[in-house]
């Protein structure tokens, strides 16, 4: 398959990751933010919050976690309901549960806790943690931001922190659910090779436009 976009650091494919990933060879890290398994209903909450309506059909669909088998070192964002099975999958080797903590969560309580935490399961082999002492914290504190490129867009700063822990300088990353290409942007800024896969062409176009910019800014 021909790449949708390619430069010195990043290659982007438009298609189904289950078909493309087996053809790509080895990577040092699989880092991805797949569709969450979430049910956000009740109390008229979807009608009241436009962003929930915008992501209906994306966050409720879950994903095939067999894609994680293509790399011994993987980091995967997940919902609480997906966490048990991902931890079980990760526990065949060393693993850790990381969190992204938002000091400015959306005030969606609806009889529950604030949605101020997102989870990342990291499965890794011995001696595969990278970065400096300050990078190895189990939690990331960074404000939530309104995604204007993708309804589930993650801040570049958060993704960059994960890349610094999961890879060394010059190593190769793959993201099978690339969305608007944030993993590729962060990898490019941090001198990592990166392969992105995204099945929706509208997001491939957005990612390609971001990656082709002459000057990229690490800070959102």
Q: How confident is the model at residue 3 (pLDDT cuts 50, 70, 90)?
A: very high
Domain boundaries, the chain: 5-211
HSE-CB of 157 using CA atoms within 13 angstroms? 11
Q: What is the pLDDT of residues 129-158, one digit of tens each?
A: 999 999 999 999 999 887 678 878 899 999
DSSP for the chain reads ---SEE-SSEEEEES-HHHHGGGS---SEEEE-PPP-----STTHHHH-HHHHHTTTTTTS---GGGGGG-SSEEEEE-TTTHHHHHHHHTTSEEEEEEEE-SS-----TTS--S-EEEEEEEE-TT---S-GGGG-SEEE------SS-TTPPPHHHHHHHHHHH--TT-EEEESS-TTTHHHHHHHHTT-EEEEEES-HHHHHHHHHHHT-SS--S--
**Whole-prediction pTM value?**
0.86
Give the number of other CB atoms < 10 A from CB of residue 165: 22
Higher pLDDT, 219 or 95: 95
Q: Are 143 and 103 in contact (CB under 8 A)?
A: yes
pLDDT of 203: 96
Confidence of residue 61 (pLDDT cuts 50, 70, 90): low
Alpha helical stretches, state H, the chain: 17-20, 45-48, 50-54, 83-90, 156-166, 182-189, 201-211
Residue 48 binned pLDDT confidence (cut-offs 50, 70, 90): very low
Question: Range with the lowest mean pLDDT among 95-109, 157-171, 192-206?
Answer: 95-109
What does the pLDDT look like over 170-216, one tens digit per residue? 999 999 999 999 999 999 999 999 999 999 999 999 999 999 986 56
pLDDT tens, residue by residue, 107-129: 766 778 888 999 999 999 998 89
Q: What does the pLDDT read at residue 213?
A: 87
Query: Is the pLDDT score of 54 beyond 70?
Result: no
pLDDT at 43: 41
Question: Quick one: which of 115, 148, 92 has its CA closest to 40?
Answer: 115
Query: What mean pLDDT, rounded, does the chain reach?
Result: 87
Q: What tokens were used for 47?
A: 């009608």
Confirm or reject CATH 3.40.50.150 for domain 5-211, answering yes or no: yes
At residue 70, the pLDDT reads 94
Pick the range with the lowest mean pLDDT from 73-87, 99-113, 159-173: 99-113
Residue 138 pLDDT? 95
Overall average pLDDT of the 98-105 stretch: 94
Reported confidence tier of residue 92, pLDDT bands at 50, 70, 90: very high
């Amino acid at each position: 398959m021909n790449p949708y976009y390619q430069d010195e650091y990043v290659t982007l494919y438009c298609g189904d990751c289950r078909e493309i990933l087996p053809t790509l060879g080895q990577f040092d890290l699989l880092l991805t933010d797949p569709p969450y398994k979430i049910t956000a209903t009740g109390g008229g909450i979807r009608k009241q919050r436009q962003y929930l309506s915008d992501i209906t059909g994306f966050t409720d669909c879950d994903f095939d976690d067999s894609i994680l088998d293509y790399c011994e070192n993987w980091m995967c964002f997940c919902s609480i309901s997906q966490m048990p099975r991902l931890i079980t999958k990760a526990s065949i080797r060393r693993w850790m549960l990381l969190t992204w903590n938002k000091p400015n969560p959306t005030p969606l309580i609806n009889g529950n806790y604030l949605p101020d935490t997102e989870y990342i399961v990291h499965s890794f082999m011995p001696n595969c943690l990278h970065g400096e002492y300050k990078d190895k914290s189990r939690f990331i504190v960074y404000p939530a931001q309104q995604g204007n490129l993708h309804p589930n867009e993650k801040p570049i700063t958060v993704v960059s922190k994960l890349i610094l822990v999961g890879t060394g300088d010059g190593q190769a990353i793959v993201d099978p659910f690339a969305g608007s290409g944030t993993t590729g942007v962060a990898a490019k800024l941090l001198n990592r090779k990166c392969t992105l896969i995204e099945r929706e062409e509208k997001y491939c176009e957005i990612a390609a436009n971001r990656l082709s910019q002459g000057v990229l800014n690490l800070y959102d």
